[in-house]
Amino acid sequence: MPEQTPAQRAVGDIAPKLAQLTDDVLFADVWERPELSKRDRSLITVASLVTSGSTEQLVGHLARAKQNGLTETELVEALTHLAFYAGWPKAMSALQVAKRVFAE
C-alpha cells in the first residue's frame, strides 16, 4: 500500500465515518421520534436526500414514502419549496425520480 500523505493521515477514512454520523444523527433521530407519523418521517428523509443531491438513494425512499401515505401532490409541493434551499437542479432531478416512482 502506498504511503499516505499528511492530509490523508490527518483525515483518515472519513467517508464511512460521515455516513455513520448521518445515519446516527439525522435518520435515526427522525425514525425514533414517536410524535412523527411514518408519512412525516418519510418526507423528512426524502427532503434531506434532495438537499444533499442524493438522487440515487431517492427511489427506495420515495417508494417507502408512497407506501407511508405521501401523495404525489404533497411531494411536488415539498419539492417546490425545497428548490429555493436545495437549488432548482436538485429539486428538478428529484422530481424526475419521483415521477417514475409514483407512476409504478
User: What is the rounded distance in angstroms from the CA atom of residue 94 to the CA atom of residue 88?
Assistant: 10
Cα–Cα dist 53/90, whole Å = 6
**Which of 3-32 are b and which e, b meaning 16 or more Cβ less than 10 Å from the residue's Cβ?**
eeeeeeeeeeeeeeeeeeeeeeeebeebee
Q: Per residue in 15-74, pLDDT tens?
A: 666 666 665 555 556 666 778 888 888 888 888 888 888 878 889 989 999 999 999 999
**Its pTM surpasses 0.75:** no
Q: Which of 64, 66, 72 has its CA nearest to residue 95?
A: 72
Give the model's pLDDT for residue 101.
92
- Structural domains in the chain, CATH included, are 1-33 (no CATH), 36-103 (1.20.1290.10)
Name the helix (H) or strand (E) containing 66.
helix 58-67
Provide the grid cell at 53.
443531491
